[in-house]
Amino acid sequence: MSEQNSISSAVFGLQDTLKRLRQQWPCLQNQSSAEKQPSELFALGPVNLDKAREEFSQHINIIRNVCSQFETEVLGDVMKMGVGADPAFRKHFTHLKEQATLESTVMRVKDTLTNTKEFFDKTLREKEESKSKIETQRLEKLAQSMGLVTFVDSTQKFESNVPITTITLGGTVIVVDIDIDDKGRVLRTKLTYVSDTLQNDQDDRVDLMLTENLQNRQFELFKQPELANILMQGHGIPNLHLNYPGVSIAYWMDKKDRDSANWQEVKTAFDNGISHSALANTSRLLISFEDSIQPLTYLPESRPSCLLGNEAEDSIDPEQFKVVTETAAPAFMPHFKFVKPLPTHPESQPIPIRFVAILDPPMPVSDEVCQKLMNVTGLVSLDTVPEVPYNSSTMSLEEQLVLDVADSVSFSGNWVSSFDDMPEQLYTWMQSSPASAKMVSRIPFQHPVQIYNIIQCLRQQQMFNTLFQSIFNVNTYKTDQTKDALSFSLEDILAESETDKTLKLEVTTIDAPNAIFITLSPPPLPNQFFVMVSISIDIPLETPTKPIVHLHAPSNAKSQRWNPAIFDEAAMTEQIQSTYSIPEFIRQLYKNMSTADTYLVDRIQAKRRFSEEDFSSAMDDSNKVMKMELD
């Protein structure tokens, strides 16, 4: 009985799989029962569930096959031998026990030696002075796990007086050269194909994937309009080998980094096929591949690009390819058309591998957006996104966004934004309806046509996270300050309200990530002592990087409306879009309110008689609406 087909090896394989899952899923590690953790047990978490299921299935099948073989061969022979089979069966059973014990001992010793080696390697690396050697050892270990041959060029090469070490990773299809400086930083990588004469055992699946990955770089489609708009509103900016060995797509950058970036330099580098270092400060999708239960068909070598480009759609052979079009596109670009190979293509061979976009960094995402992502990538098929109720045993979206700042007990209050030209802004989060959420690490997908929809979902969530964290962050969090004496008399409360100039605001996230609701009370005026202003900041999925401010009607909306000189929705929208900061937005709004003589103005209603034309027009409009509904 060989090792790979024994029950012991299958059991150890199951243990190894569970050990890896435990390392990848922090929630499976020993945690306090009262300590909440971000939810990662789902299809977009750090673990490829397809691969885990396949490994479990393989190990279980080995155990089942061995038991079935024992039943049919051993027990079947025993039944045929009759009464005299007892000594032979005992001897065979004792041999099996000894073999299992020996195999188990060997595996445990092997596991112990592996752990010991890793421990000493880690200790030596920590004492090693050369950071380049540390990184080289890590790459060697990674290459060994992938079955690649490594070669380290230890001769001293210098570039700008900096010593350079080159490590070469060689396989049957590709060779990767990586240059590392003395501080362990990767300076450049070079990827080349092995010549056909040396590809003795070339895997066609790998060749297909590399062709799809490396040749589909039609970057000229991304040059207009300006790169900053493409980064935040378009298909993102593609990069090659930017702190990642392969293709990555930058889709979001914080406003501070975006304003400080030299976009002319970025564009010049992009035009020359170079990934600018400024794009390393972006949120990116790292494009790779992973195991899949469902086989997928990839482009043959005869077609280098999945983009339709300037080709006519009718020039594509419908028996071998299918033309698929994006369901959404930015306003300044057309819907891209892609070519998808069909299984009927003579050069196509379905393989159990799919695309995967690894989020750098991972992102807290509401369950609603998770459902949208799974829908647009084909992991599920739903006409509508169901509402997911909040589970108090897991961390809400809001709690994950302040995970490193405050605990869930003191989260609701104690958030203060300060400016020199206005009173402090005191924010309170209304916890009545927290959003159920998960931590998204990776997004499997089937075809590049799905990338833009994925990016738009992530941008909507990122926009919400950015606005929320502009209020609730490490700089605005204040610890409780208990006053020496508490006053409960009405006179004391009124007196304190006159001296306390703090601007108090309530934040509600009942519809995260589609909107954030803010309620504030502006400074009292002689004729309007107490006024409540309700504002919503909507984040539409179609244009998530352009949030829209809506002003809710006042309580006496029939007779009064907001003063348009202060509360101009268009100007307020422009302000939030230019800052991506709610405190900055409130600061400008406060400046407008502090110079006003009234917050509300009376409505002016012109009185006139209704004519027959008014009713005729109303009927026509109603018919138009009905016709649109029927169409």
**Residue type for 597, please?**
D
Instruction: Give the pLDDT confidence of 484-541 residue by residue, as tens digits.
Output: 444 445 555 455 555 567 899 999 999 999 999 999 988 888 887 788 999 999 999 9
What whole-number distance in Å separates Cα of residue 176 and Cα of residue 320? 34
Beta bridge partners of 415: 427, 477
- Looking at residue 206, what is its pLDDT? 43
Q: What is the 3-state secondary structure (H, E, C) of 359-373?
A: EEEEEEEEHHHHHHH
What whole-number distance in Å separates Cα of residue 279 and Cα of residue 528? 50
Residue 623, classified by CB atoms within 10 Å of its CB into exposed (0-12), middle (13-18) or buried (19+), is exposed
Phi (first) and psi of residue 178, to 5 degrees: -125, 120
- Looking at residue 433, what is its pLDDT? 78
Q: Tokens 């739903």 identify what position?
A: 382
- With contact defined as beta carbons under 8 Å apart, do 179 and 187 qualify? yes
Torsion sign across C-alpha atoms 305, 310, 316, 321: positive
Beta bridge partners of 307: 338
What whole-number distance in Å separates Cα of residue 539 and Cα of residue 144? 47
Residue 535, classified by CB atoms within 10 Å of its CB into exposed (0-12), middle (13-18) or buried (19+), is buried
Phi (first) and psi of residue 471, to 5 degrees: -95, -50
**Residue type for 255, please?**
K
What whole-number distance in Å separates Cα of residue 174 and Cα of residue 149? 11
User: Taking residues 551-570, what's their average pLDDT?
Assistant: 90
- Looking at residue 385, what is its pLDDT? 54
Please report, for residues 504, 524, 571, 573, the alpha-carbon distance to residue 595 in angstroms, rounded to integers and kept in the order given: 19, 12, 17, 20
- Looking at residue 224, what is its pLDDT? 45
Instruction: Give the pLDDT confidence of 43-90 residue by residue, as tens digits.
Output: 788 877 787 778 878 888 887 887 777 777 777 776 766 666 677 667
Q: Tokens 């003063």 identify what position?
A: 563
Please give the CATH topology (third level) of the domain spanning 131-198. Answer: Nuclear Transport Factor 2; Chain: A, (3.10.450)
What whole-number distance in Å separates Cα of residue 298 and Cα of residue 289? 12
- Looking at residue 508, what is its pLDDT? 93
Phi (first) and psi of residue 106, to 5 degrees: -60, -45
Residue 464: closest CA among 404, 536, 526, 550: 536
Residue 598, classified by CB atoms within 10 Å of its CB into exposed (0-12), middle (13-18) or buried (19+), is middle
Asked which of 111-115, 192-196, 462-466, 570-574 is least confident by mean pLDDT, the reply is 192-196
Q: Where in the chain is the domain with CATH 3.10.450?
A: 131-198
- Looking at residue 111, what is its pLDDT? 75
CB atoms within 10 A of CB 264: 10
Please report, for residues 12, 18, 96, 244, the alpha-carbon distance to residue 105 in angstroms, rounded to integers and kept in the order given: 11, 20, 14, 40
Instruction: Give the pLDDT confidence of 373-383 residue by residue, as tens digits.
Output: 999 998 886 65
For the chain, first and last CA: distance in Å? 69
Q: Tokens 């450049």 identify what position?
A: 188
- Looking at residue 617, what is its pLDDT? 45
Most confident of 15-19, 67-71, 462-466: 462-466
Beta bridge partners of 382: none
